[in-house]
Amino acid sequence: MIYEMRTYDVKPGLLAAYLKLFNDVGMPERKPYNNLVGFWFTEFGPLNQVIHIWKWDSLDQRTLLRAELMQNPKWTNNFLPLAMPMLNKMTSVILNPAQFSPLQ
């Protein structure tokens, strides 16, 4: 099992709009492809960030399901063209659970 932590820097003033867009348009299309562990936005520290963690069985599964998602016209035509202009930066890290981690 691996986890992917994605951090998006949202343009100032657009955080609420991004969260609504992801909830209304993005999440319904993404949900069948992977398992969302959590989705947060920052209140203190670096502002205007959304952080989400996804669980994968393997890197191969991640690659396969993300490729399938990119073939979904509702994702590529209805969500991405609206979401991408709202973002300044996107980062993604793969996390491997330590032996003693409660999440495995």
pLDDT given for residue 45 in this prediction:
94
Distances (CA, A) of 5 to 18, 74, 77: 18, 23, 24
Q: Give residue for tokens 């991004």.
A: 18
Domain boundaries, the chain: 2-95
Could you say which DSSP state residue 14 is in? -
Reference 89, options 4, 6, 22, 20; nearest CA is 6
The pLDDT-based confidence of 103 (bands split at 50, 70, 90) is: confident
pTM for this model (two decimals):
0.90
Q: How far apart are CA 88 and CA 38, in angstroms?
A: 21
Q: How far apart are CA 40 and CA 75, in angstroms?
A: 21
Query: Which CATH architecture describes the domain 2-95?
Result: 2-Layer Sandwich (3.30)
Lowest mean per-residue pLDDT among 27-31, 33-37, 80-84:
33-37
